A = this chain, B = another copy of it.
Amino acid sequence: MLFSSSNDRRFFALLRESAENMVEVAQIFSEAIENLDRSREYAIRLKDLEKKGDRFTHDLITLLNKMFVTPLEREDIFQLAVRLDDVVDGIEATASRLSIYRIRHSDQYIREFARIIQSQVSEIVVSIELLEKKELLKIRENTVQINVLENQGDEVLRAALGNLFETEKDPIHLIKLKEIYETLETATDRAEDVANTLEGVVMKNA
């Protein structure tokens, strides 16, 4: 395994940019839920970043198809890029629902989800740095942490649903909030999918 050619460097640069874009998406989402009167504006901003992420993924695939030797197995890198994209899509989808459903008030559950997602995304960024530095076995620490955070997300969803069904009597508003919570929990699941993909890569290459 050689991580030295100029293509390899370009490849990791793209992967890093994709991960950094994901961090920005998670940060702006945290901002968005504190400014729900401007949810439409935030949704548009996140949509733009999501498209930017798509372009990184596209460039990465084009590069992979040109590279003769790749630092990791071509297909694993592809899977990783697709999974990173899924996290961004998940966050952006929630922001879009907040806007479409005209949700005007954030709550402790939405805030807790935003915090969990930000933490997961930070762990993913570190993992990708370790991948580039070939410190594969260290990655397990981060993937374990991403899983712990996903379990927390599951707990938040349960608390949120319990509270929602106990207090909300308007079925249509209940449907909206239920979907917001579930979409957020799905975003934490997708971060776990990234962790699982990373673990698979480590297993093949360590």
Contacts and interface: CB of A to CB of B under 8 A. Distances in A.
A62 to B, nearest CB: 8
Nearest to A192: B82
A13 interface: no
Interface of A: 58, 61, 64-65, 74-75, 78-79, 82, 93, 96-97, 100-101, 137, 140, 144, 154, 158, 161-162, 165, 169, 171-172, 174-176, 178, 196, 199-200, 202-204, 206
A78 B140 CA distance: 13
Contact of A140 (B65, B169, B196, B199): B65
A199 B61 contact: yes
A203 B174 CA distance: 45
Q: Is the interface of A mostly helix, strand, loop or mixed?
A: helix
Given A101-B165, A203-B64, A82 B196 contact: yes
Nearest to A57: B147
Copies of this chain, count: 3
A96 B206 CA distance: 38
A206 B70 CA distance: 13
Nearest to A96: B158
